[in-house]
């Protein structure tokens, strides 16, 4: 049985966060939300112009996200969570477990060329790769999962990690 009530699927744009989070939530019977839906209009406009967000741009957004479990007590959130400081903010009000997806740049580039409805460009992804700090061993509430293979296999890997966390 999975004990975590607030699960965050993280990684750079195009790594598969939304697909994995939706499928994981479905399998667990949790709510699924995408952090991108909570960005301010200003942040979306910047990203649409391939302007990377600063920490200052992200802080109000992260604070909003950290309070989502007040309304959704069993939640899988797709959220970049690129740095340890962002992950600390995200879990400042509720315990969270982070699954950071590791996906090759070539796979992401291919996905983004087919994803016309999203504002993120590959230039923005490059800046996210530069910002990305995968969890180290001292982040006990986080794991890295290679997002390769069928979605169901990735979900099964994540559930095993969550059961042993």
Query: pLDDT digit string (tens) for 96-129?
Result: 999 999 988 887 777 676 655 555 556 677 888 8
pLDDT of residue 118: 53
Cα-Cα end-to-end distance for the chain = 11
6-164: CATH architecture: 3-Layer(aba) Sandwich (3.40)
What is the reported pTM?
0.90
pLDDT, tens digit, 9 for 90 and up, residues 48-100 = 888 888 999 999 999 999 999 999 999 999 999 999 999 999 999 999 999 99
Contacts of 88 (CB under 8 A, 6+ apart): none
pLDDT, tens digit, 9 for 90 and up, residues 136-161 = 988 999 999 999 889 999 999 999 99
CA–CA distance, 74 with 58 (Å, rounded to integer): 24
Spans of all domains in the chain:
6-164
């Amino acid at each position: 049985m999975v004990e975590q009530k607030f699960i965050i699927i993280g990684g750079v744009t195009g790594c598969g966060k939304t697909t994995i989070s939706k499928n994981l939530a479905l399998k667990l019977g949790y709510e699924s939300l995408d952090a991108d839906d909570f960005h301010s209009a200003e942040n979306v406009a910047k990203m649409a112009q391939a302007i990377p967000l600063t920490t200052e741009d992200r802080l109000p957004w992260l604070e909003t996200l950290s309070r989502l479990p007040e309304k959704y007590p069993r939640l899988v959130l797709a959220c970049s969570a690129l740095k340890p400081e962002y992950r600390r903010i995200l879990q400042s009000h509720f315990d969270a477990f982070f699954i950071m997806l590791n996906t090759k740049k070539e796979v992401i580039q291919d996905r983004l060329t087919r994803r016309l409805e999203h504002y993120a460009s590959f230039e923005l992804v490059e800046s996210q790769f530069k910002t990305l700090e995968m969890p180290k061993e001292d982040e006990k509430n986080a794991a890295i999962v290679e997002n390769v293979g069928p979605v169901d296999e990735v979900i099964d890997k994540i559930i095993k990690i969550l059961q042993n966390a």
